[in-house]
Amino acid sequence: MDLNSQIELEIYFADHFDTILFPVLADLYFKNNEFNRARKVCEIGLKHHKNDPSGLFILANIEKNEGNLKEAEKILEHVILYSPDHLSAAVQLCEIQTVLGRAKSRLLKSWKYVLSLDSSHNTANEFVEKIALTENVKPDVKKPIPEQKKIKTQPVNNKKPNVKKVNSSSVTIDEYADPLKVSPRLATFTLVSVLKNQGLFSQALDVLDALEKKGENPNDIALERETIEELVRKLNEE
């Protein structure tokens, strides 16, 4: 399958509703303002991959776009539960909770969690410092506790990423290369997440390189690179 072609993605999805690549197609629809199609793809894909962070994140954006902020908040909490390093989800959760007028203590925990992922995040720093000044409390972002709700209908999926077994004593990123074709036009953080969740680390890094050339947020790119490198290190230790 050629990921350069939206038509091929649509045809492939029509024949493979269980594909883990469903967030890529949903993201394309969302960016083209085809929200009904994006929602339908997410709903179908999530039936097969209930806790997929990329698919849930797009669904949360759809809910947010349609004004369903409480539902978006719930889904974003779910995203963070299964993908603790998802910075965009953490930031959006804070923004939505602010609009919903959540308690100051709850907002403080959420923004501290953002700082644990990105210590240079301006809005998070300003919020935490402001609260610290008004309450005369020293800001502490070393051990944040994200605000999370228990999801009754979604059991925790403890399965590890689908990574090929390698007999070598040491694993390198290049050993996880895959023949998928990715053009800069289709390079998105959603695609990075999909590839990362499947253990296709080399491909994920290629997409990050394409995002860098497109001028995307360098902090987000750096965070994703660090996450991928850490995943490879952990695999080497196993």
Query: How much is the pLDDT for 144?
Result: 52
How far is 105 from 137, CA to CA, in rounded Å?
Answer: 12
More confident residue, 104 or 162: 104
Q: Which of 149, 182, 172 is nearest to 232 (CA)?
A: 172
Q: Is the pLDDT of residue 199 over 90?
A: no
pLDDT per residue as tens digits for the range 10-21: 888 888 888 988
Contact yes or no for 45/22 (Cβ under 8 A): yes
- The secondary structure of the chain in percent helix, strand, coil, rounded to multiples of 5, reads 65, 0, 35
Helix (H, G, I), strand (E, B) or coil at 181: strand
Say if pTM beats, i.e. exceeds, 0.75.
Answer: no
pLDDT per residue as tens digits for the range 93-138: 999 998 888 898 899 999 999 999 999 998 899 888 887 777 655 5
Query: How much is the pLDDT for 41?
Result: 95
Query: How much is the pLDDT for 215?
Result: 83
How far is 195 from 85, CA to CA, in rounded Å?
Answer: 15
Residue type (1 letter), 6? Q
